[in-house]
Structure 1
Amino acid sequence: MQPIRLFHTPARLQVTLIMALVISSTAFAAGEKVAAGISDPSGNRPNVIVILADDLGYADVGFHDVVADGVNTPHLDRLAASGVVFRNAYASAPVCSNSRLALSTGRYQHRWGAYYYGQGGLPSNEHTIAEMMRDGGYRTMKIGKTHLNNGPKSDPMKHGFDHYLGFKHHSWDFNLISEKDVAAYEKKQKGSIAKARMAPIGPLTRDNGELESYENTTTTEVFGRESLHFISAEGDKPFYLQLEFNAVHTPLTRGPEQLRKKFGIPARPFDRDAAVWEYPYWDPVAQPDYGQWYDQTCHLGIPDPYGRKIYLAHLELMDTMIGDLLDALEAQGVRENTFIFFSSDNGGSDQSYANNGPINAYKYCLMDGGIKVPMIVSWPSAFANKHIDATVTHRDLFPTLSEITGMTPQKQLDGKSLLPLIHGDVDQLHASEPMFWDSGPRQNNWVARLGDWKLVYREVGKTYQSYDLDENGLVKPTLSDVNIRSGLQLYDLANDSGETKNLSLEFPERVAKMKQLYTDWRAQMADPISGKKAK
């Protein structure tokens, strides 16, 4: 029997209790500043926290110019006010696993064959940010989601982390995170948990395999509290924390209990002993086809009238956990010398009721809705508050941390340090450098980007099912179509950020040049390979 952890204390009170035990041994002197781009000369290197949301919509943060109705992210807005907001930041892929590979390594994941889901994995010879940080004397921890398509280094404990708490999957149930939930399903129908492979149920994993159950809480709260424990631990070493929430990924079947009434979400309790588990819960007896249930709840097969409200509630809960983290850093006296990176793994998903504002389309495709993401970098003692319009990518994080800490990566990186851009030494980081996205032959969708020009190729068109809201903020039962073109498409993003006007026929020479750039780049990349075959 695994230990059951009960959490009934309000999150803010728990933060207060934790902070009361903290010893502020690494505080910066009042008014002291870190020299641009380097650690403090006394050797007081910055703490580093990397925070990733999951499938977050571009318009679902309060610090952007376009903010969707109902969005409430005061703590992310507070983080943005203390640092640099990148308005044209991009993930390396339109799906989570491949995007996370690029962020963790600072390299095109295509170099080892990771183009789409299930491909590439993390090979043994790739080097991660966490490995660099640990080798440089940081204490390290991974909390939350890890989804890297298998491979010999798929386990977070092989990435350079001293400790880990979370799950290794593309998704996890927010609420059913106890061994008792597993037992309830197995009691109803033996083998049912094995069927629930797309949205797993049950305990989280700590370090090298210990399972931990939790009651009366959510994964978001568990990950937030675990982060507080980690940053509050005593020691002479600076810390590196990689916090990857599964909010706001599907399955969004139930609102967080503490925010349910605020958002007008009906109670949907899970009774382990009920004769029948009613929709939106999966009942392996009443609905033997798990795939059907998953399509209904996670692929808009049955639009949930409360879907957008549930999404917003989970977003607000994640924002609260980030606020608790900021509070704890301030109470310890280390906020000034803590570098915080925040972003989303890829573009917002229509299937989770995200809102990408004026950005075209959603997750899974290479229109900007699938790859353009919110992004903040905050280091109060070194960075002034500003908004930057230059194009940047997740791959730029690794070289930025390399420059800040003075540690050398083991591999040649594809990203560039953000520091010259942040400090105003340059206006652009990648203006003269072509950048590429490629989802491989399974999607036949690739992009070449040169400055503000974006060349898109898609072999087969795609239709998204997008939701609409009524006057009460409820999802309408009839969905709208968002159609994505096939063929070669050229867009001038400086004048057409919504990718509405295909200019390929007007600029054939530019199309030919950018297509050749892609062909040359692709020839340097590996062919797609299953993550299970990675070495």
Structure 2
Amino acid sequence: MKIITLLFIAALVSIEGHAVETGSPRPNIIFILADDLGYGDVQALNPERGKVATPHLDKLASQGMVFTDAHSGSSVCTPTRYGLLTGRYSWRTRLQKGVLDGGNDEPLISAERLTVGRFLQQHGYQTACIGKWHLGFQSEAAPRAAKSKQMGSGGLPLAAQIIGGPTTRGFDLFWGCSNARTMSSVIEGDHVAEILPPIEILPRLTQRAVEYLSAPPQQPFFLYLPLTSPHTPILPSPEWQGKSGVGAYGDFVMQTDACVGQILTALDTAHLAENTLVIFSSDNGCSPQAGTTELEKQGHYASANYRGYKSDIWDGGHRVPFLARWPGTITPGSQSQAVICLGDFMATVADLLKVELPAEAAPDSISFLPNLKDPSLPGRDALVHHSINGQFAVRQGRWKLDLCPGSGGWGHPTDKAAAKKAAPSVQLYDIESDPGEETNLVSQYPEKVTQLTRLLETYITQGRSTPGSPQANDVEVKRPWLSR
């Protein structure tokens, strides 16, 4: 009896100085992040213009909630992952365009920055990251030479130590890789444990995640599962080749869907599903390297009815699938039109635990927990978008201001091409009536352009887009629209 009493008291006291809520069991949390999966790649979200079967994601959507207006923090990889784990826009850091190179990079997340992993550690969770990191780490080992030109075949040598990786940024466990170029160097904890062919990475990381769920820790857990697919190299396993009928990319999407199915089955087998919040999303839109032109000829539109793809400032670059399931809290088959961002995850987790975040943490994160409970509620008031070339857009309600003349990325017309054709230097769209961003209303509503530009300037100069004391950006934030 004395031991039981002491354990009960221990549950009430703080962990690392932070109060832990008692009462109803705290849920396990799984965040599955696909890599370059477009909004329209999920069949349930794009039934008329999607030709790839995704039965497991469709089932997840039917069991939980679909957010139809969810966005990644950027139209490319690294900055989105930064925002997801910190609740802060990446353009406040040194990385204001492009992605980390994936080699010997200084970690983008500073050691002092609170991450969602570290926050959950402080509140009694075990945290695990299985998959693609792409947020930088360093090593004293020289990169090994790739044996072929195939993407993914490079990386660090076996047994190389890494510095500043996931286990120093809030994760108790890590198994995975840096990025698509170096994925064959598989890291466990803080060293390279295996060298694998890229085609084996996705099945292996899925296997590791299933094994984790088959023998879960005694305390609640957070499993961050950033998949390596369907990003290039597009290498579906032999059993999936030819399955989709629209080519290798479609096959890889189907394999990605099957991986999600294995995770959900593992939850059921371990009797964990009822007390687990599962979120599925993507880091940005589908990449043109998937062969989007050929896919569209076959009737598959990976961006659904949205303009652009990965890299672009248009919605196809950053509007992403977002599915959430939490039995007993989320109504099955529900849909929310609330505007949310992946960077809102951290504030949502704090809201879920009923713990206030430190004043300096997650300055751009707004909880969508109320939306999970009531899909009719509105989402965030405004949201900043960012493209691969460092171009900005700001969305407020139905209005979206793209502060560049073209795509802001790889899409056509590029900014340079649009400028040559004397296109307006900015684009204003009514995103509700014109989701394809076809009719530029900048000349009709100059006051809206001014209003939204001022809002963005406020977000930049204040160092935050949420209420609170101003913060400093890491470096001066570049404003490309001022130079035109």
For normalisation by structure 1, the TM-score amounts to 0.69
SS in 1 for 2:261: helix
Q: Which moved more, 1:414-423 or 1:216-225?
A: 216-225
Partner of 2:222: 240
Contact 1:83 1:383 in 2 (8 A): yes
Deviation at 1:444, TM superposition (A): 5.2
Of 100, 110, 118, the residue aligned with 1:123 is 110
Q: 2:325 aligns with which of 371, 375, 378?
A: 378
How far 1:318 moved relative to its partner? 1.5
8 Å CA contact retained: 2:460, 2:477: no
Q: Which amino acid aligns with 1:320?
A: A
- Whether 2:335 is the aligned partner of 1:387: answer yes
Shift, 1:239, TM fit: 1.4
Give the CA deviation at 1:130: 0.8
1:66, 1:425 → 2: CA distance?
21
Query: Is the CA contact 1:111–1:524 (under 8 Å) kept in the aligned structure 2?
Result: no
**Which residue number corresponds to residue 271 of structure 1?**
none
**1:224 is aligned with what amino acid?**
T
Per-residue deviation at 1:523? 2.4
Q: 1:196 corresponds to which residue?
A: none
- 1:384 Cα shift? 0.5
- Within the candidate set 230, 238, 242, 2:212 is matched to 230
210-219 or 117-126, larger mean C-alpha shift: 210-219
**2:84 alignment counterpart:** 103
Hey, what does 2:42 align to over in structure 1? 61
The CA deviation at 1:313 is 1.2
Would you say the 8 A contact 1:204–1:212 is kept in 2?
A: yes
Alpha-carbon shift at residue 329 of structure 1 (Å): 1.0
Change (3 A) 1:71 1:528: farther
Q: 1:278 — aligned with what?
A: none
Alpha-carbon distance, 1:149 to partner = 4.6
**What is the DSSP-based 3-state SS (H/G/I as helix, E as strand, rest coil) of the residue aligned with 1:59?**
helix
Post-superposition CA distance 1:206-225 (Å, at most 9, x none): 11104224479621111111
**1:451 maps to what in 2?**
397
Q: Output aligned runs, 1:45-194, within 5 Å.
A: 45-66=26-47, 68-118=49-99, 121-149=108-136, 154-169=164-179, 171=180
How far apart, in 1, do the equivalents of 2:212 and 2:477 lie? 36
Alpha-carbon contact 1:95-1:345 (below 8 Å) kept: yes
Q: For 2:350, which of 398, 402, 411 is the aligned residue?
A: 402
Q: Share of identical aligned residues, percent?
A: 28
Q: What do residues 40-75 of structure 1 show as CA deviations (whole Å, max 9, x unaligned)?
A: 964521111000000111110022144544311111
Find the aligned partners of 2:219 and 2:317 in 1 and give their Cα distance: 38
C-alpha separation in 1, matches of 2:341 and 2:65:
14
3-state SS of the aligned residue for 1:140?
Answer: strand
**What does residue range 175-214 of structure 1 map to in structure 2 within 5 Å?**
199-200=181-182, 202-214=184-196
Distance, in Å, in 2 between the alignment partners of 1:225 and 1:454 is 41
Structure 1 residue 451: Cα displacement? 0.8
- Determine the C-alpha separation between the residues in 1 that align with 2:194 and 2:289: 29
User: Given residue 165 of structure 1, which amino acid in structure 2 is its aligned partner?
Assistant: W
Identify if the C-alpha distance between structure 1 residues 144 and 228 changes in structure 2 by more than 3 Å, giving closer, same or farther. same
Correspondence 1:423 to 2:373 = yes
- Determine the C-alpha separation between the residues in 2 that align with 1:230 and 1:459: 47
Mapped contact 2:28–2:220 kept (Cα < 8 A): yes
Give 5+ residue unaligned stretches, structure 2.
1-19, 101-106, 139-161, 293-301, 420-424, 464-472, 479-484
Decide which moves more: 515-524 or 110-119. 110-119
Deviations 1:86-117 (A, max 9, x none): 00001111110001100111122233343222
What is the count of residue pairs matched by the alignment? Answer: 401
Aligned counterpart, 2:201: 219
Aligned CA distance change for structure 1 residues 261 and 99 (closer, same or farther; 3 Å): closer
Asked which structure has the greater RCO (Cα within 8 Å, sep 6+), the reply is 1
1:414-447 CA-partner distances (Å, limit 9, x unpaired): 22211222322862122xx3322345xx835211
- Measure, in 2, the Cα distance between the counterparts of 1:310 and 1:483: 27
Corresponding residue for 1:194? none
> Distance in 2 between the 1:364 and 1:316 partners?
23
Tell me the distance in 2 between the aligned counterparts of 1:48 and 1:396: 15
Q: Tell whether the 8 Å contact from 1:448 to 1:456 is kept in structure 2 after alignment.
A: yes
Specify whether residues 458 and 162 from structure 1 end up closer, same or farther in structure 2 by C-alpha distance, changes over 3 A only: same
Contact 1:444 1:459 in 2 (8 A): no
Q: Structure 2 CA distance, aligned partners of 1:132 and 1:167? A: 23
Contact 2:52–2:244 under 8 Å retained in 1: no
For residues 59 and 426 of structure 1, what CA distance do their matches in structure 2 show?
Answer: 23
- 1:85 aligned counterpart, secondary structure: strand
- The match for 1:357 among 304, 321, 326 is 304
Task: State yes or no: 1:311 paired with 2:292.
Answer: no
**Aligned partners of 1:443 and 1:415: how far apart in 2?**
23
- Residue 455 of structure 1 and its aligned partner are, at CA, apart by 0.6
With 311-320 and 40-49 compared, the bigger mean Cα shift is at: 40-49
SS of 2:329's partner is coil
Gap change, CA 1:113 and 1:523, over 3 Å in 2: farther
Query: How far apart, in 2, do the equivalents of 1:216 and 1:427 lie?
Result: 43
Task: Note the alpha carbon deviations across 1:104-148, whole angstroms, 9 max, x for none.
Answer: 111222333432225781112211111111111111110110112
Measured in 2, the distance between the counterparts of 1:462 and 1:110 equals 15
Contact 2:391 2:408 (C-alpha < 8 Å) held by counterparts: no
1:249-285 per-position Cα deviation (integer Å, ceiling 9, x unaligned): 1122x43201225357xxxxxxxxxxxxxxxxxxxxx
Q: Does the 8 Å CA contact 2:76/2:99 hold for their aligned counterparts?
A: no
When the two chains are superposed, the root-mean-square deviation of aligned CA atoms in Å is 2.7
Provide the rounded CA distance (Å) in 1 between the counterparts of 2:440 and 2:98.
29
Please state how far the C-alpha of 1:78 moved relative to its aligned partner.
1.2
Give the partner amino acid of 1:136.
H
Partner Cα distance (1:131, 1:500) in 2: 43
Provide the residue aligned with 1:12 in structure 2: none
Partner secondary structure for residue 333 of structure 1: coil
Deviation at 1:153, TM superposition (A): 8.1
Contact 1:361/1:482 (<8 A) preserved:
no
- Partners of 1:153 and 1:124 in 2: CA distance: 11
> Partner residue of 1:260?
241
Distance of 1:457 and 1:165 partners within structure 2: 39
Q: Which residue matches 1:251? A: 233
- Alignment of 1:348 onto 2:286: yes
